[in-house]
Amino acid sequence: MWGIIRRKVSLGCSPASIVEQSLQRIRPVVNASRSYSSSAKEMMVRDALNSALDEEMSADPKVFLMGEEVGEYQGAYKVSKGLLDKYGPERVVDTPITEAGFTGIGVSVPIVFRGPNGAAAGVGAQHSQCYAAWYGSCPGLKVLAPYSSEDARGLLKAAIRDPDPVIFLENELLYGESFPVSAAVLDSSFSLPIGKAKIEREGKDVTITAFSKMVGYALRAAEILAKGGISAEVVNLRSIRPLDRGTINASVKKTNRLVTVEEGFPQHGVGAEICACVVEENFEYLDAPVERIAGADVPMPYAANLERLAVPQVEDIVRAAKRSCYRSVPKAAAA
């Protein structure tokens, strides 16, 4: 189910793919810092991804899509809907279930690997892993994890235009979610800078970092915390590698507290890297121990009740933020 958008590489004897090396196209980057509430139109995440693919393929004939079910089936989650009819089988290429094979074919760069990542629903340990930390540990890769439709559209367009290999991690449960988008986001020149986080909600008491679906959980937790007098700042990472250490550290300097949230396993996780970064660079600003919220250190259970226990919930974030602000009993006392 992984789609591959590639440029400047050869695939078999397809005329569309026999292209000489050329300079990377330079296009303007628009950094939309406006809030979602100020937007006039809503767009589903899957439609944001589809429109980004369509516009980039239309703008550059060297861009093409290859992967499982991306053509005739129009994508497992309909992200590539309509692209086969519009661009033909030479630019939208269905492959067998041979990930290692078509990945090997596409080892030239620029290249983007995109597809679902993170916990799904009721599919057990086979399809519910978050691999952000795995990919994020590899030098040379850029790793992106969008949350909203704005993120999905702007980051995918940036990834396709980027000269380096990019891993693009989409959350399966977000495909059908709708988010407000502005006219600027819908412009064909729109793009988001890789490596730049976004402050989704400003606050002064505690910083909560999150990415992908967990951003929504963090925002819901922030609303609950606000009712109790705790002002939480929510940082949408957007980019796992490069990591926007500047934005994270600036937020911690302001709030003096940190809670990291992710679906992945706790050991060697994205949150662990963020905590190390903050402790190394801004230890003197911390007024409380850092808190990490992550998935349980177990293979994903299939049973719905156990699955819920294995992934972070909004109430977990709320409790961690309260502990950080000394509004709740510590873990040791609670145990």
Q: Which residues are catalytic?
A: 99, 127
- Work out the angle at residue 211's Cα, subtended by the Cα atoms of residues 270 and 282, and round it to the nearest 5 degrees: 55
Please give the structure tokens belonging to residue 118: 């993170």
Number of other CB atoms surrounding residue 280 within 10 Å: 10
The identity of residue 44, as a single letter, is: M
Closest among 108, 163, 145 to 241, alpha carbons compared? 145
Radius of gyration of the chain (CA): 20
What does the buried/exposed string (b/e) look like for 65-103 if buried means 16 or more CB atoms within 10 Å of the residue's CB? bbbbbbbeebbbbbbbbebbeebeeebbbebeeebeebb
Number of other CB atoms surrounding residue 331 within 10 Å: 12
Please give the structure tokens belonging to residue 100: 């290692």
Closest among 115, 117, 116, 118 to 310, alpha carbons compared? 118
Q: How far apart are CA 189 and CA 61, in angstroms?
A: 17
With a CB cutoff of 8 Å and minimum separation 6, the contacts of 188 are 55, 59
Dihedral in degrees, nearest 10, Cα atoms 44, 243, 57, 180? 20
Please give the structure tokens belonging to residue 238: 């957007």
Ramachandran sector of residue 14 (left: φ over 0; alpha: ψ -120 to 50; beta: rest): beta
Pairing of strands 64-67, 3-6: antiparallel
Q: How far apart are CA 9 and CA 16, in angstroms?
A: 10
Please give the structure tokens belonging to residue 43: 């767009």
